[in-house]
A and B are shown apart, each in its own frame.
Chain A
Amino acid sequence: MPGPQLDIKVEHVEGIAVVTLIGVVDAATIESVKRTLEPLLARNPPRILIDGSGLSFINSLGFGLFLSWTRSATTRNGQFAVCGLRDRTRGIIKILGMEPLMNLYPSQAEALILMNEPGAS
């Protein structure tokens, strides 16, 4: 029986919940991602950064959830961003026309700075 394919770590940095995903986001692991994000998204307002630098694969369900959570956080005056995605993943997001609708950053450090800027949303 195959073991877990995804490690998830949650840290709170400067008021932002940084969720680091290491491994794969696919049909087998997507529910664990949802379970981790649910309580963080329920905060008022939610401030979440997904660090995807350790992701070797992410499927279309994962992209859809990132977009959905971006929308959800924004409507509640919160923040949802993703950093560290590999070039190929960014390329797929671009093909799907999602890029303008998401908050994507090259690194966690840059994301945290920009998310904490006055007036950032």
Chain B
Amino acid sequence: MSETLHSDVIRVRIPGDARYLALIRSVIVNAAIASGFADDDVDKIEMAVDEACTNVLDHAYRFATPKPPIDIEVRVSPERLVVDIIDRGVSFDFNAYIPPKFPDHWLRGKTRGLGVFLIKHFMDEAKYERLSATSNRLRLIKNLQQPVTP
């Protein structure tokens, strides 16, 4: 199985509609499981990708009507899982993001702004790049520390 997945690329394009986030999560979860990630890491990858796609819908596509599709590309290797989330919306200064401090964030009455924090906390690498005037890519990488033998 690992030899088959070594150079496999999984590509999914979903409409810009939150109802399709479950489909993305399902693809990501199954790719992570097949890669050999432990349950805990599968959950983290699932959450990070969902947060990233939700941010696309809520922020990058905020003023778009209709909302463009979102492209997801998953690459697996014996060493790591790479997920690219490609949008066609407003770019975001990912590197300027300042993570909130807890519990101060909550004590100040805030209840949002967790998406990027969770993405950076759960993934080993998160790189944002503006691909063109109309598209952006968020690349999320999770290293496979200890492959799980089935």
Contact = CB atoms under 8 A, between A and B. Distances in A.
Chain B interface SS verdict (over half) = helix
Interface stretch (B80-88, B114-122, B126-134): B114-122
Contacts of B107: 101
A57 B50 contact: yes
A28 interface: yes
Interface residues of A, number: 25
Contacts of A113: none
Interface stretch (A12-20, A41-49, A58-66): A58-66
B71 interface: no
A101 B23 CA distance: 33
Interface in B67-120: 102-103, 105-107, 109, 111-112, 114-115, 117-118
Contact of B20 (A2, A97, A98): A2
Interface of A: 1-2, 5, 24, 26-28, 57, 59-61, 63-65, 67-68, 71, 88, 92, 95-98, 100-101
13 contacts: A2-B20, A26-B25, A27-B21, A27-B54, A27-B57, A28-B18, A60-B115, A61-B54, A67-B111, A95-B121, A96-B117, A97-B106, A98-B103
Interface of B: 17-23, 25, 40, 43, 46-47, 50-51, 54, 57-58, 102-103, 105-107, 109, 111-112, 114-115, 117-118, 121
